[in-house]
Amino acid sequence: MQTTKHPYELLIRWDQTGALAGAHVQHRYVIRDDAGKVIGETLGSAEPLTLESAAGFPLGDLLAQTHIDALARTSALDAERDALAARVAELEAQISGTPIA
């Protein structure tokens, strides 16, 4: 038995102001028996679009390498921002004497 992962859907949403609100990818999993006959398939959950969640999704069919590089940079900057925000909260808690949640 073998399961293969295929791109299924790219979901992009905008908010009421027309700003990009989010993007998600979804994969289809096909299960084949040892003879190669399809015995089942299922859809995976829609996952927020990151370079990690897009593994196996043909972003190159949709985006230029420049866009893919920009997504990678944005993801790295988001992680850095979150780490810095956590550090600021930690320092503020130390200054105020409030325990960190």
Per-residue pLDDT, 82: 94
Sequence-distant (≥ 6) Cβ neighbours of residue 92 within 8 angstroms: 98
Cα separation, 2 vs 10, in Å, equals 25
CB 28 within 8 A of CB 42: yes
pLDDT at 13 over 90: no
The residues spanned by each domain of the chain are 2-96
Q: The whole model's pTM is what?
A: 0.54
For position 74, what pLDDT does the model report?
A: 82
Please check the confidence at residue 81 and state whether its pLDDT lies above 80.
yes
Q: Tell me: pLDDT of 101 over 70.
A: no
pLDDT, one tens digit per residue, over 17-72 is 988 788 888 989 999 999 999 999 999 998 887 766 666 777 777 778 888 788 77
